[in-house]
Amino acid sequence: MVKVNEAEVTIVPFDPDKHDWKVVQKVAYLGNTEPVQDALLLQLFNLRLMVPLLMSSLAVGISTSLWYLGILAFLSQCLGFYLYNMEYVVKYQLFSTYADYNEKFTKFWTTSPNSLWVMEYQGNIIGTIGLKLDDKYEWEITRVGVKKNYRGNKLAKLLLGTAFNHSKQNGYKTITLSVSEVYGHVACKLYTKMGFKVSEIFCMPIPHFPVLPLVPPSKMVSMKKDI
């Protein structure tokens, strides 16, 4: 973990002329990519997936009398499962439906009333937070992300404070956010400390992954805070 000197941290509005939007988006999407990565890695230990992979790899080893080929086949299939789902299914089938993914990112976050802030430290982009109107026309905090090696420095509190101040200045009465019940338990604790209260728990289906539909619907926690 990088020890951060808070006095050197700056939080500024996203500026596409100053910030590389691809770098900003990568940080902003950590709250999406990391839970999916964890879910996919867990599925590699699911017997419904593991048994067919082991059987096919065993068949390769027996048919060739070269056991290292069987091991190689097993590892290749595991890697292929992960990469195909992560790089194609998730990014091109799920993320591509988001209003701010890839080339849409800059336009979305520079169009009023949406707001995105970038946290910088010693010339590096290390965090983000956004505010947008959701489908219910409520103000929603989203794209909260802090790079892994900078976590543990209470940077998320600084980002949330920026969103709170913006909300107060613009007369917002209530702000909402959603977080994964399974993979966001640490974030839930932080949001609770920051004054958010659980308003709803709902299921968000994860897109069908090839081979077997192994990933169950994800339980999401919706939280609200009065400003």
20-70 pLDDT, tens digit each: 999 999 999 999 888 888 877 877 787 777 888 888 888 887 888 888 888
| 24/49 Cα distance (integer angstroms) | 35
Name the 3-class secondary structure at 10.
strand
Which comes out higher in pLDDT, residue 182 or 65?
65
Calculate the average pLDDT of the chain: 87
Q: How confident is the model at residue 80 (pLDDT cuts 50, 70, 90)?
A: confident
Name the 3-class secondary structure at 117.
strand
pLDDT score recorded for residue 55: 86
pLDDT at 169 over 90: yes
Which comes out higher in pLDDT, residue 205 or 44?
44
Q: Where are the beta strands (DSSP E) in 33-190?
A: 115-121, 124-133, 139-146, 174-180
End-to-end CA distance of the chain: 33
Q: Enter the pTM of the model.
A: 0.83
pLDDT score recorded for residue 218: 66
pLDDT at 89 over 80: no
| pLDDT mean over 154-181 | 93
Using the CB atoms, write b or e for 14-23: b if 16+ within 10 Å.
Answer: beeeebebee
The residue ranges of every structural domain in the chain are: 12-37+95-226
The answer regarding whether domain 12-37+95-226 maps to CATH 3.40.630.30 reads yes
